[in-house]
Amino acid sequence: MAKSKQAFAERLFDWFTRSDDDPTHIPDPTLLLATGSADDTAALGEQGAPVSTKAPSKRYEIIKLLGKGAYGVVSLARDLRIGRMLAIKQLNARFRRGSSIYKHFVQEARIAGQLDNPNIVTIYDVEAGEVPCILMEHLSGGNLGTLIRLDAPMNELEALRLLRGIMNGLRAAHRHGVVHRDIKPSNIIFDQNGTPKVTDFGVAIFLKEDDTSATKNLFVGTPDYMAPEQMEPEKYSVDARADLYACGLMLYEMLTGERLHRFGPIKTAEQLEKILAGLSLPSDSEFPEEVTEDTRDLVRLLIRKDPDQRPADAQAAIDAIDEVIASHVGMDDLKDTGGEEPTILREMFEDILRLFLGDGVISAAERRELTIRSKRLGIEMDEALELEEKVRNELQLPSLRHLQEYAWRVESVLSDRKFTEEDHKLLDELAWAYNISESERTKIQDNVMVKFQMKEGVVEDLIP
């Protein structure tokens, strides 16, 4: 099956499961899981085994299947008690308790559930019933891999700010003694406001625990984003600086649109030795001309072969990023807003909104820029959305709530990759009721179709 033809549901499940960046490839347990038993490997090869999409309890209602794959299913659900939408990740029942895949599933919930940070996906609960499942935050903003494919080479300042958010999540994880070990674009996902969040802690380790961890000294991760010390775990200990190395590779990819490394499967010691011997820092000519020297040096700092030459921890990396950002904007806008009164700052943001809403539509790129500008002005996200509602009402434009409801309805009717006459009538009626313009409707529908990969050639692969 060609990448461009793979079902959206299958690609979405790849987002949540152990995989390399080829969505048609079932992960090699000896490479990415590194603890796969013979039973696990055999189970991976089974086809058509029954997978439950039953809600874990009467409290939850399954809305629809988001994806299914070798390990289980991911469903969109509603918490009937508080009305919250969430994603429920259910493990295939054939992975019994004690299997390595079951252990990684439980570990993901255990680790991520202890981390409370706006740049880490929130785990709400874990159910350990007949079909184990993780109840987690539902995020609809795509992932960094998709953003790179659509937008790279990215704006330098935008790339730096995204990296800072990712580092903020990693700083929280590292302070809890957690090393992710599989940082890559497909494991950075966005909420609807464009906030990056780290996900998939399936092969993470607790450094504070003893050395009995099942994968502490094994070859785990995605080779193209692995630090050199991860490739030789029997020789070197792996710590938080391995995650910083992967972040440097992602920054390079955001700035250039290309991966620095494409190793492919690593099957022999000789192949590994050749890779390690050939590692080198990117030269100036490998960056776009507009990328500043400070940012190029930041990339090279993060991906030093010797971990002792990288920043000591995520906080040191954030400090280095802040210095580069400050040099771009000409002031340290991360610390204050120059003493401006809050009222003036809100009025400034309202003027920016009026400018962006001049044509009645805010594009994805403009939405990210609004997020950046609100942060620079010290305006919290909730307040920024309130101000946007105020301006929309002033300009007699549809409310954000109505636009979100319309987008949800579009996604719902197109989820089966069909668009019937009845669907068309339903969306027409909803758009008329909410006063949604034709241009806004087209933008929403195009975004959903890109997400579902219904437009051939728009993006080669939505979910890496």
Contact 186, 15 (CB under 8 A): yes
Confidence at 341, pLDDT banded by 50, 70, 90:
low
Q: What is the CA radius of gyration of the chain?
A: 23
| Burial of 41 from C-beta contacts in 10 A (0-12 / 13-18 / 19+) | middle
Report the sign of the C-alpha dihedral through residues 363, 369, 373, 379, in that order. positive
132-141, 148-157, 296-305: lowest mean pLDDT where? 132-141
Burial class (CB in 10 A: 0-12, 13-18, 19+), 208: exposed
Query: With bands split at pLDDT 50, 70 and 90, how would you rate the model's confidence at 212?
Result: very low
For residue 231, the SS3 value is helix
Cα(321)–Cα(163) distance, integer angstroms? 8
> Using one digit for the tens of pLDDT, what is the confidence trace for 63-110?
888 777 667 788 889 889 888 889 888 887 777 666 777 777 777 777
Look at 13 and 413; give whichever has higher pLDDT.
Answer: 413
Q: Is the model's pLDDT at 344 over the cut of 50?
A: yes
Give the C-alpha separation, 137 to 130, whole Å: 22
Query: Could you read off the pLDDT of 353-393 as tens digits, one per residue?
Result: 888 887 777 776 777 778 888 887 778 777 888 888 888 88
What are the pLDDT digits (tens) for 256-307? 999 998 877 766 667 777 777 778 899 999 999 999 999 999 999 999 999 9
Is 455 a residue whose pLDDT tops 70? Answer: no
pLDDT for 11 equals: 34
Q: How confident is the model at residue 171 (pLDDT cuts 50, 70, 90)?
A: very high
pLDDT score recorded for residue 452: 55
Query: Exposed, middle or buried by CB within 10 Å (0-12, 13-18, 19+), for 375?
Result: middle
Q: Is the confidence at residue 311, as pLDDT, over 90?
A: yes
User: What's the mean pLDDT in 124-148?
Assistant: 83
Q: Residue 396: its pLDDT value, please?
A: 85
Model pLDDT, residue 256: 96
- Among 14-28, 29-43, 131-145, 280-294, the range with the most confident prediction by mean pLDDT is 280-294
DSSP 3-state percent helix, strand, coil across the chain (nearest 5): 45, 10, 45
Distance CA 292, CA 289 (A): 8
Distance (Å, whole) CA 82 – CA 87: 15
Question: In angstroms, rounded to a whole number, what is the distance separating the alpha carbons of residues 209 and 316?
Answer: 24
119-123, 291-295, 407-411: which has the highest mean pLDDT?
A: 291-295
- Residue 186 C-alpha from the chain's centroid: 6
State the catalytic residues: 182
> Mean per-residue pLDDT for 246-262?
94
Give the C-alpha separation, 163 to 161, whole Å: 5
Helix 381-394 vs helix 342-356: angle between axes, to the nearest 10 degrees? Answer: 60
Distance of alpha carbon 263 from its chain centroid, rounded?
A: 22
- Rounded to whole angstroms, how far apart are CA atoms 90 and 135? 9
The confidence score (pLDDT) of residue 368 equals 78
CB–CB of 200/16 below 8 Å?
Answer: yes
For residues 164 and 399, the model is more confident at 164
The string over 95-132, giving b where at least 16 C-beta atoms fall within 10 Å of a residue's C-beta and e elsewhere, is: beeebbbbbbbbbbbbbbbbbebebbbbbebbbeeebb
- pLDDT, averaged across the chain: 75
What is the mean pLDDT of the segment spanning 141-169?
90
> Under 8 Å CB-to-CB from 420, ≥6 apart: which residues?
none
Burial of 293 (0-12, 13-18, 19+ CB in 10 A): exposed
Q: What would the mean pLDDT of 17-37 be, rounded to a whole number?
A: 32
Say what the pLDDT of residue 402 is.
84
Q: Which amino acid is at 426?
A: L
Q: Quick one: CA dihedral 248, 186, 113, 201, positive or negative?
A: negative
Helix (H, G, I), strand (E, B) or coil at 91: strand
Cβ atoms of residues 193 and 381 within 8 Å: yes
Residue with the larger pLDDT of the pair 77 and 234: 77
Question: pTM score, two decimals?
Answer: 0.63
Q: Which two tokens stand for residue 182?
A: 């599989």
Distance CA 98, CA 348 (A): 58
CB atoms within 10 A of CB 373: 16
Of the pLDDT bands very low, low, confident and very high (cuts 50, 70, 90), residue 40 is very low
What is the structure's pLDDT at 170?
A: 95
Query: How far is the C-alpha of 241 from the C-alpha of 313, rounded, in Å?
Result: 6
